Amino acid sequence: MVTLLIGKKGSGKTKKLIQLANEAVAVSQGNVVVIEKGAKLTYDITSKARLIDTDQYAIKGYDMLFGFISGICAGNYDVTDILIDSTFKIAPEAVGGIEEFTKKLQTLSEYSGANMVVLISAAEEDLPGDINAVCEVI
pLDDT recorded at residue 121: 85
Each residue of 66-115: pLDDT tens digit? 999 999 999 988 999 999 998 999 998 888 888 899 999 999 999 999 99
pLDDT recorded at residue 67: 96
Burial label for 29, CB within 10 Å (0-12, 13-18, 19+), is: exposed
Overall pTM surpassing 0.95 (yes/no): no
Domain ranges of the chain: 2-137
Q: How confident is the model at residue 123 (pLDDT cuts 50, 70, 90)?
A: confident
pLDDT recorded at residue 132: 63
pLDDT recorded at residue 134: 57
Q: CATH 3.40.190.80: does it fit domain 2-137? A: no
Q: Cα dist. 45→17, 23, 59, 68, 100 in Å?
A: 9, 10, 21, 21, 29
